[in-house]
Amino acid sequence: MPESLFTFLFKYRPVVFERGRLVFETARPVVLLLAALAVALVLGTIYLRQRARVGGSTVAVLTAIRTLILALVVLALLRPALTISTVVPGENFLAVLIDDSRSMRLADDEAVTRGAQALEGFTSGSSELLAGLLDRFTIRHYRFSDITTRLDPSHPPTFDGRATDIGAALDYVRQDLTGVPLAGLVLVTDGADNADSALTDPLLQLTSRGIPVYTVGLGEESFRRDIEVTRVEAPARVLRGSAFAVDVMLQQHGYDGRTVTLIVEEEGTIAATKTVEFRRGQAGTTVRVNLTAETPGPRGYRFYIEPLADERVRENNARNILVSVADGREKILYFEGEPRWEVKFLRKAVRDDENIQLVVLQRTAENKYLRLGVDDALELTRGFPTTREELFAYRGLILGSVEASYFSHNQLQIIEEFVSQRGGGLLFLGGRESFAEGGYAGTPLETVLPVVLQDAVPDEPASLAEIQVSPTPNGMAHAAIQLAATLEASTERWNNLPPLTTPNPIHRVKPGATVLLTGAPLNGDDELVVLASHHYGRGRVIAFTPQDSWLWQMHADVPLEDMTHERLWRQMTRWLVSTVPERVAVETSKNRLSPGDRKSVV
């Protein structure tokens, strides 16, 4: 229906009906409706009696006409009215919330900063907008960033807030103005909410009271020329002397094909640099930086790119993180089901590592064990731990060539809980009694493993596969298997290592697992999984399928002074326990906190 016709019939424009509310002003609408219903029933009865004389179609037409006339009479008697809420000058409050975060210091095309624009428009005495609002409302000014307070005219915003918590700001103002006629909230900001609190609940509270929220956006939606360090992902805790990888996410606008340098500082000293090329058509890129933690204690790292001359925003070119470098001894239990060379050379590899304590339990005969590296004469005297308390005292567990039937069901369940609940690290080594060949299919540990076990043929001896080991693309970027100071040197070293053997042919990993090393059989068979890992519950599980990594120390082609084997196993054992939590830990609900933040501690 055209708007002019609608206005002619109903007196007001459609927008008035959208904003208004239709009411009936008659005193007793229910009585009137009942009377109209009674009249309609009487008329209907009369017409039904006349159907045979005048015809059914005529009766239907007359009934419809008189029903319509009766409905119009009833509608008129109900006295319909349109009520519209309006503002009484000076008697309603309007809240103006001004963003006080650091991004409001930025200036866009104009020389005036966003914060200055907000103050000029909503606090200045010369503002025509503010003067118009004051004619109709009582204004209450607020400032908000990570906290919200009343705006004191004698103390203007400093625009130094580290976050923009819109949800908390709306909720604060709603509670502060409870009990007064609040006409609405005006939100003056330049960006999206970047705090933890949700917007849903505060908006629902305002909507239920019929309080609108008006947003005034400042600044450009995106910068034409800008480089931003958007995120830095690094382990929260590492052992002293450990190599660890940090992923730095970069975002750029307007610098396609440009090459920049990512600088990493540790406590003010340059620790690494990385050349980054922004490919054409690719706004974001991730850079992996390998670092080594040498000094114990909390260490601050800064990742930044020097601002370019024509860059619009320079404040987002850097990110800071904190890494806790531990200097304790990590206790790892290594259980072997039979004497073999792996025990000797693995112990030798970590012998001089002051941060790794390798406790060896080796079965030499039935119910007889060799114990090495124990703290006292009573440790592990009864063999492998049988209680949670005994096993949970260790931070890592290495299982060598030991059949699943050695363990009781309770011990297998304890190992599963050691990983999932304790958060311990579990490393499976290859051997003739490992993986499927050791009967682990169908046990609680099959669900723990990152690899898919193949069905082993009963009573058939395991066949050995001679494999040439090489890292995958994920492995080349992983700090635990870097064999040299540079990526190129590490790749060359992997290419020159002698082949190993494995009795555990594994071809597939579980969803979510990461393959770091693969092995190409020298006989031309399909490629095998050599090293894979995944997270299980709170812990980490690693599968390493070769049975003779000691060849990388004792093979005739390996020089006597070569430290490849020692370096690999030191890094592997440190990686095994790098994320293991303390048995009693205190954590905050948020990893990154700004000065003045309040967070729960669990």
- Pair of tokens at residue 551: 């060849």
For tokens 């890129």, name the residue: 285
Cβ within 8 Å of residue 41, ≥6 positions away: none
Fold exhibited by the domain 92-217: Rossmann fold (3.40.50)
Query: Does the structure show a pLDDT above 60 at 457?
Result: no
Q: Which two tokens mark 81?
A: 């009215």
Q: How far apart are CA 281 and CA 256, in angstroms?
A: 7
| Dist. CA 135–CA 246, nearest whole Å | 57
Say which range, 161-165, 203-207, 398-402, has the weakest mean pLDDT: 161-165
Q: Where are the domains of the chain?
A: 3-83, 92-217, 226-326, 330-577
Q: How many residues in the chain?
A: 602
Count other C-beta atoms under 10 Å from residue 288's C-beta. 15
284-304 mean pLDDT: 91
Which of 466, 441, 465, 443 has its CA nearest to residue 454? Answer: 441
Query: Mean of the pLDDT values across residues 1-25?
Result: 69
pLDDT band at 467 (very low <50, low <70, confident <90, very high): very high
Give residue 496's identity as a one-letter amino acid code.
Answer: N
Class in CATH terms, 330-577:
alpha beta
Q: How far is Cα 254 from Cα 220, in angstroms, rounded to an integer? A: 15
| Residue 591: CB atoms within 10 Å | 10
Measured CA to CA, the distance from residue 47 to residue 451 in angstroms comes to: 85
Contacts of 122 (CB under 8 A, 6+ apart): 96, 98, 129, 130, 141, 186, 188
Question: What is the DSSP secondary structure assignment for residue 602, as one 8-state letter?
Answer: -
pTM above 0.75, yes or no: no
Among 117, 99, 94, residue whose Cα is nearest residue 193: 99
Q: pLDDT tens digits for 100-132?
A: 988 888 877 667 888 898 998 998 888 899 999
* 99 in Cβ contact with 113 (< 8 Å): no
∠ Cα 227 228 232 (to 5°)? 140
Whether 326 and 293 have beta carbons less than 8 Å apart is answered as: no
Q: What is the mean pLDDT of residues 320-348?
A: 94
CA distance linking residue 296 with residue 294, whole number of Å: 7
Which residues have CB under 8 Å from 119's CB, separation 6+?
98, 156, 157
C-alpha span between 292 and 571 (Å, rounded): 11
Residue 53 has a pLDDT of: 62
Cα-flanking dihedrals φ and ψ of residue 303, to 5°? -115, 120
pLDDT exceeds 80 at position 456: no
Secondary structure (H, E, C), 486-523? CHHHHHHHHHCCCCEEECCCCCCECCCCEEEEEEEECC
Strand 137-144: give its sheet, edge to edge: 148-150, 137-144, 92-99, 182-189, 213-217
- Token pair for 62: 């007359």
Beta carbons of 237 and 324 less than 8 angstroms apart: yes
Distance CA 429, CA 360 (A): 14
Q: How does 190-223 read in b/e, with b if 16+ C-beta sit within 10 Å?
A: bbebeeeeebeebbeebeeeebebeebebbeeeb
187-201, 228-242, 479-493: which has the minimum mean pLDDT? 187-201
With tokens 């995106």, the residue in question is 222
Model confidence at 258: pLDDT above 70:
yes
- Mean of the pLDDT values across residues 508-522? 95
Residue 592 to residue 447: CA distance in whole angstroms: 34
Parallel/antiparallel/unpaired status of strands 92-99 and 182-189: parallel
Q: What angle do CA 288, 355, 353 make, to 5 degrees?
A: 90
The reply to whether 330-577 shares the fold of 226-326 is: no
Residue 371's pLDDT band, with cuts at 50, 70 and 90, is very high
Query: Which residue type is seen at 188?
Result: V
> Looking at the predicted structure, is the pLDDT value of residue 60 above 80?
no
Contact yes or no for 537/482 (Cβ under 8 A): no
Higher pLDDT, 79 or 245: 245
Write down the pLDDT at residue 36. 72
* Residue 144 pLDDT > 70: yes
- d(Cα 152, Cα 161) in Å, to the nearest integer? 16
> CA separation (Å) from 458 to 375, 438, 461?
40, 10, 8
**CATH class for the region spanning 226-326:** mainly beta
User: 12's torsion region: left (phi>0), alpha (psi -120 to 50) or beta?
Assistant: beta
Structure tokens at 476: 């080349």
Determine phi and psi for 198, rounding to 5 degrees: -90, 155
Mean pLDDT across the chain, nearest whole number? Answer: 86
Buried b (16+ CB within 10 A) or exposed e, 131-145: eebeebbeebbbbbb
Distances from the Cα of 77 to the Cαs of 70, 81, 256, 530, in angstroms?
11, 12, 73, 88
Please tell me what DSSP assigns to residue 381.
T
**Cα separation of 77 and 31, whole Å?**
11
- Cross-strand partners of 243: 292
pLDDT(596) > 60: no
C-alpha 133/C-alpha 89 separation (Å) is: 10
What confidence score (pLDDT) does residue 459 get?
56
Q: For the sheet with 243-253, list strands across it.
A: 226-233, 243-253, 284-292
Alpha-carbon distance values, 392 to 307, 364, 427, 560 (Å): 49, 24, 15, 38
Give the residue-averaged pLDDT of 536-550.
96
Angle between helical axes of 341-350 and 564-577 (0-180°, round to 10): 80
Tell me if 572 sits within 8 A of 480, measured CB to CB.
Answer: yes
What DSSP character marks residue 588? B
